[in-house]
Amino acid sequence: MKTQATATTNSSDLTQIYQSRFQGSTEYRLSVWQTLIRRFLSPWIPQDGGVLDLGAGHGEFINQVPAKKKWAMDLNPDTAGHLSQNVQFMRQDCSQPWPLPESSLDLVFTSNFFEHLPDKGCLQRTLQQAFRALRPGGHLVALGPNIRLVPGAYWDFWDHYLPLTERSLAEAGKLVGFAVERSLAATLPYSMSQGFQPPLWAVRIYLAMPILWRFFGKQFLVVLRKPL
């Protein structure tokens, strides 16, 4: 899954970390994300609306999303060179004010990003910016490693700072005004694009059988909705 960093990591380190971590897996990652978009995330993706990919990495998600307006936010300067022409790039600290009008987005999506933020204050400010930018009824959909399910392996990454569970993220969302629409402790495996790479047919079967998530899932899914 995508891995991003924060204002505590300088640009050269961030580029080096990302390139070394996912070198040689680009084609597979694109295929996995295409499958996830079609078979897992489609209920929250508005084809006629605006979508922001928060911690966009190399654009594997946002480039393939069938949305009318698309934005990507990341501190990695390398991100811009990987985005499609119809994606607007915002290179900035996500906890600082977003250059987007109020109620201009339908979906803020983020995957394997919040754990790279330096502290809970940064996360809260980021959620506040998402709440402001989303239209009433819009969603924030977050995937990430659940510290309760991967307690040791969580810290094997140099740029992991903030341990989270589905419960702590849902609570943070409620503090800034979101309603919790869905909160699952276990969905995707810890990684679907590093090390062992299951064939795409196996990925499709896994997504279609939530009972398997209870045994192999290590990532939470939290869906927050801005009230009408």
Tell me the pLDDT tens digit for each residue of 9-58.
555 555 544 554 555 578 899 999 999 999 999 999 999 999 999 999 99
187 occurs within a structural domain: yes
219 occurs within a structural domain: no
Nearest C-alpha neighbor of 177 from the set 219, 134, 145: 134
54 occurs within a structural domain: yes
Question: Is residue 145 over pLDDT 60?
Answer: yes
Question: Is residue 4 over pLDDT 50?
Answer: no
Question: Is residue 2 over pLDDT 50?
Answer: no
Q: Are strands 69-73 and 105-111 parallel, antiparallel or unpaired?
A: unpaired
| Domains: count for the chain | 1
Beta carbons within 10 angstroms of residue 151's beta carbon: 10
- Confidence tier at 95 by pLDDT (50, 70, 90): very high
Strand intervals (E) in the chain: 50-54, 69-73, 87-90, 105-111, 134-145, 179-184, 219-225
Range of the domain at 196: 11-36+48-58+69-92+100-211
Contacts of 165 by beta carbon, 8 Å cutoff, 6+ apart = 146, 147, 148, 185, 220
Question: Is residue 3 over pLDDT 50?
Answer: no
Phi-psi region of 112 (alpha: psi -120 to 50; beta: other; left: phi over 0): left
pLDDT of residue 160: 92
Beta carbons within 10 angstroms of residue 214's beta carbon: 11
| Average pLDDT across the chain, whole number | 90
> What is the identity of the amino acid at 44?
W
83 occurs within a structural domain: yes
pLDDT of residue 117: 96
Tally the residues of the chain: 228
Measured CA distances, 6 to 26, 35, 114, 116, 159 (Å): 22, 28, 9, 6, 8
Q: Find the CATH number of the domain harbouring 195.
A: 3.40.50.150
CA distance linking residue 193 with residue 191, whole number of Å: 6
Q: Determine what percent of the chain is predicted with pLDDT higher than 90.
A: 79
pLDDT of residue 10: 56
pTM assigned to the model: 0.88
The mean pLDDT of 63-91, rounded to a whole number, is 95
The mean pLDDT of 96-110, rounded to a whole number, is 97
> What is the identity of the amino acid at 89?
F
pLDDT tens-digit readout, 185-202:
999 998 755 567 889 999
